[in-house]
């Protein structure tokens, strides 16, 4: 067999082989990539009755698949933010003693406007709207987000 | 050895398969005896702990059920109802930590005795890969009981992976099985922990041991330059191997002591919708990296600090993996002290940041 012909065959074979490997790896990788699940279009949730939450306290509320922190401030206002810390995604909590939002993972602090005021978090927490209708607390996505 | 050769079964096999090459392979390795010989045992101890992991891991598999509603419950059942369940789990957890610990010790002993030099480059590379795999075992296993600490540690750990430039987001999704740490993450970590990592580990371990058996033990410089009559060595098989066994017995005692008197706790069940408790921290062997990431400012010259830190550790890891290949260029015979300094700095850095991590 001439050298040229041998080289040509080598080339064709390696091309075919690469194609084969690719056609095995591609579906395997795509299989591992989690399919996008339609985010249930939650626009508002009920978070319970007003008297269930004491003044100066907070609680975590399910908002679709995301946690939201609902706070009744010491001045008796209801406010809500995403509860996912903007640093590395831990769930934040309300600190009654400081009257601030605190992330235990790396000591991140946010004020009651959601602004990151100390520690590693790089961004503020996104705010949610809170409405009281017939004593029922309703948390809703702000208009510009939805 | 002669006893083995006279054995009936051996002779039966030998007659049919000619075991001469295998015997030669097993017999030729000699272990030098000198004041630093003790470090030769650290690799064997790490191997022993891995064997323990495989055995106890397989036992855990008989009761463990991955899933948001079953992981925690099955481990609790294991610990409260199953005979010796608490012990098996406690051994698996303690031995995991000891294994990583001894892998570190072994690696640094090899580093300082310069055993990684030509011709043992690939032994070094395979060894470091196994340390990384062991850390992968630890990270993936940590989540499996699905308790609160592990849940948030995994959230944070995988979030950090997401910051790796270009491929980070994809890897994070692949690991989590979705945008968040959920039940899908348990299944993925489970598959990684009990099948992918063990398979890869066994292959790399096989190569590592093959290289060592083929090339024989490294002789440190001071020993090599001794006149032949002052060199003392013992055959690896069976003499050194029996000493290995003695150390293994010792380690087994330590392990059982820890597992029995400091049983591994389960903690409280993870809840996707509750605030992170105080005291979330990774396992100790991730602490120095984790603490460094925490100490880098949020923004450095316009680049996000986390990303900078990750790239920094990525490069360090690569440099460490390839030590035998650049050592000759910058240190070698000209500056024999340089590698010692580098190794010492690495150790001091790791210990210092680990301590800071636990104090603050
Ligand atoms: C073939 C090998 C292995 C198998 C089949 C296995 C299996 C398992 C299983 C089923 C669990 C969950 C049960 C539990 O959490 O108590 C687990 C947990 C764990 N594994 Fe493994 N494992 C293996 C090797 C390893 C290795 C080599 C390491 C570390 C170097 C390791 C580290 C861990 C850790 C840290 C946990 C969490 C322990 C806990 O908190 O309960 N495993 N393993
Ligand atoms: S995850 Fe909240 S401060 Fe780090």
Q: Tens digit of pLDDT for each residue in B42-53? A: 999 999 999 999
Q: Which of A33-47, B103-117, B153-167, B228-242 has the highest mean pLDDT?
A: B103-117
Q: According to the model, what pLDDT value does residue B286 have? A: 95
Using the Cβ of A83 and the Cβ atoms of chain B, whether some distance falls under 8 Å is answered with yes
Q: Tell me: do B109 and B77 sit in the same domain.
A: yes
Using the Cβ of B298 and the Cβ atoms of chain A, whether some distance falls under 8 Å is answered with yes
Residue whose Cα lies nearest atom 25 of ligand 1: it is B53
Q: Tell me: do B84 and B206 sit in the same domain.
A: yes
Q: Tell me: do B273 and B129 sit in the same domain.
A: yes
Residue A98 pLDDT > 80: yes
Residue A146 pLDDT > 60: no
Note whether residue B140 is domain-resident.
Answer: yes
Work out the mean pLDDT of chain A and round it to a whole number. 90
Q: According to the model, what pLDDT value does residue A145 have? A: 47
Residue A4 pLDDT > 70: yes
Q: Tell me: do B15 and B99 sit in the same domain.
A: no
Nearest by CB: A91 against B173, B177, B274? B274
Q: According to the model, what pLDDT value does residue A40 have? A: 65
Q: According to the model, what pLDDT value does residue B348 have? A: 97
In a mutagenesis test of the B interface, which of A63, A85, A120, A124 is the best target, namely the one with the most B β-carbons within 10 Å? A120
Q: Tell me: do B148 and B86 sit in the same domain.
A: yes
- DSSP, collapsed to helix, strand or coil, labels residue A38 as coil
Please indicate whether, in this complex, the C-beta atoms of B275 and A92 are within 8 angstroms of each other: yes
Residue A144 pLDDT > 80: no
Residue B5 pLDDT > 90: no
| Shortest distance, CA B270 to any CA of chain A (angstroms) | 12
Cβ atoms B217, B31 nearer than 8 A: yes
Please indicate whether, in this complex, the C-beta atoms of A62 and B178 are within 8 angstroms of each other: no
Note whether residue B93 is domain-resident.
Answer: yes
Residue B227 pLDDT > 60: yes
Q: Which 8-state DSSP code applies to residue B229?
A: G
Rounded distance between C-alpha atoms, residue A85 and residue A104, angstroms: 10
- Residue A26's pLDDT band (boundaries 50, 70, 90)? very high
- CB contacts of A90 in chain B (<8 Å) are 152, 155-156, 276, 280
Q: The domain that contains B105 carries what CATH number?
A: 1.20.810.10
- DSSP, collapsed to helix, strand or coil, labels residue A116 as strand
Q: Tell me: do B74 and B190 sit in the same domain.
A: yes
What does B76-140 look like in DSSP terms, one character per residue?
A: HHHHHTSTTHHHHHHHHHHHHHHHHHHHHHHHHHHHHTTTTSTT-HHHHHHHHHHHHHHHHHHHH
Residue B55 pLDDT > 90: yes
Rounded distance between C-alpha atoms, residue B318 and residue B300, angstroms: 23
**A143, A135, A139: which is closest to A66 by C-alpha?**
A139
Q: Within 13 Å of residue B257, how many CA atoms lie on the same side as its CB?
A: 7
Rounded distance between C-alpha atoms, residue B116 and residue B108, angstroms: 10
The token pair at A32 is 């591992």
- Domain closes at, from B256, B280, B304: B280
Q: Which 8-state DSSP code applies to residue B228?
A: G
Rounded distance between C-alpha atoms, residue B108 and residue B50, angstroms: 19
Q: According to the model, what pLDDT value does residue B52 have? A: 98
The tens digit of pLDDT for each residue in B141-194 reads 999 999 999 999 999 999 999 988 899 999 999 999 998 999 999 999 999 999
Helix B323-330 with B336-359: angle, nearest 10 deg: 130
Binding site membership of B198 for ligand 1 (Cβ less than 6 Å):
yes
- Residue B250's pLDDT band (boundaries 50, 70, 90)? very high
The mean pLDDT value for A70-77 works out to 94
| Strand extents, DSSP E, chain B | 30-32, 233-235, 299-300, 303-304
Using the Cβ of B177 and the Cβ atoms of chain A, whether some distance falls under 8 Å is answered with yes
Rounded distance between C-alpha atoms, residue B162 and residue B175, angstroms: 10
Rounded distance between C-alpha atoms, residue B168 and residue B153, angstroms: 18
Number of domains in chain B: 2
The tens digit of pLDDT for each residue in B113-135 reads 999 999 999 999 999 999 999 99
In a mutagenesis test of the A interface, which of B186, B192, B273 is the best target, namely the one with the most A β-carbons within 10 Å? B273
Whether omega before A60 lies within 30 degrees of 0, making that bond cis, reads no
pTM of the model: 0.90
Which ligand 2 atom minimizes the distance to the CA of A120? 3
Residue of B nearest to A107 (CA): B278
Note whether residue B324 is domain-resident.
Answer: no
């Amino acid at each position: 067999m001439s050298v040229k012909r041998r080289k040509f065959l080598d080339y064709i074979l390696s091309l075919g082989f690469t194609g084969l490997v690719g056609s095995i790896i591609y579906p395997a990788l795509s299989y591992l990539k989690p399919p996008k699940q339609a985010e249930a279009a939650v626009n508002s949730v009920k978070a319970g009755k007003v008297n269930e939450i004491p003044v100066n306290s907070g609680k975590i509320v399910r908002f679709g698949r995301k946690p939201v922190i609902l706070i009744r401030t010491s001045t008796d206002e209801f406010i809500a933010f995403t509860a996912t810390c903007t640093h590395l995604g831990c769930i934040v909590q309300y600190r009654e003693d400081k009257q601030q939002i605190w992330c235990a993972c790396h000591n991140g602090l946010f004020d009651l406007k959601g602004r990151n005021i100390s520690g590693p978090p790089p961004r503020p927490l996104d705010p949610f709207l809170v409405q009281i209708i017939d004593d029922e607390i309703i948390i809703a996505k702000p208009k510009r987000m939805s | 050895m002669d006893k083995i050769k006279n054995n009936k079964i051996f002779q039966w096999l030998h007659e049919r398969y000619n075991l001469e090459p295998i015997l030669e392979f097993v017999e030729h390795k000699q272990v030098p005896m000198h004041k630093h010989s003790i470090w030769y045992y650290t690799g064997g101890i790490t191997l022993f702990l891995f064997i323990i992991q495989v055995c106890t891991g397989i036992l855990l598999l008989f009761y463990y059920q991955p899933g948001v509603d079953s992981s925690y419950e099955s481990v609790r059942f294991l610990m409260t109802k199953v005979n010796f369940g608490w012990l098996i789990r406690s051994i698996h957890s303690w031995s995991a930590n000891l294994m990583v610990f001894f892998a570190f010790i072994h690696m640094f002993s090899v580093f300082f005795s310069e055993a990684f030099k030509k011709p043992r480059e690939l032994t070094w590379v395979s060894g470091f890969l196994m340390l990384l795999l062991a850390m992968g075992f630890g990270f993936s296993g940590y989540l499996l009981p699905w308790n609160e600490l592990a849940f948030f540690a995994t959230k944070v750990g995988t979030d950090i992976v997401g910051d790796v430039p270009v491929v980070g987001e994809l890897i994070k999704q692949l690991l989590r099985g979705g945008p968040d740490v959920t039940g899908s993450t348990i299944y993925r970590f489970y598959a990684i922990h009990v099948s992918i990592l063990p398979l890869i580990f066994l292959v790399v371990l096989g190569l590592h041991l093959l290289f060592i058996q083929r090339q024989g033990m490294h002789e440190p410089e001071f020993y090599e330059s001794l006149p032949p009559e002052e060199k003392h060595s013992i055959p690896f098989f069976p003499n050194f191997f029996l000493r290995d066994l003695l150390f293994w017995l010792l380690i087994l005692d330590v392990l059982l002591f820890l597992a029995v008197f400091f049983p591994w706790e389960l903690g409280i069940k993870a809840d996707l919708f509750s605030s992170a408790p105080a005291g979330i921290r990774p396992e100790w062997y991730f602490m120095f990296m984790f603490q460094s990431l925490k100490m880098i400012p949020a923004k450095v010259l316009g680049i996000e600090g986390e990303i900078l830190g990750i790239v920094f550790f990525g490069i360090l890891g690569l440099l460490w993996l390839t030590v035998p290949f650049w050592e000759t260029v910058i240190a070698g015979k000209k500056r024999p002290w340089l590698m010692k300094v580098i190794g010492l700095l690495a150790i001091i850095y790791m210990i210092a940041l680990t301590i800071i991590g636990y104090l603050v």
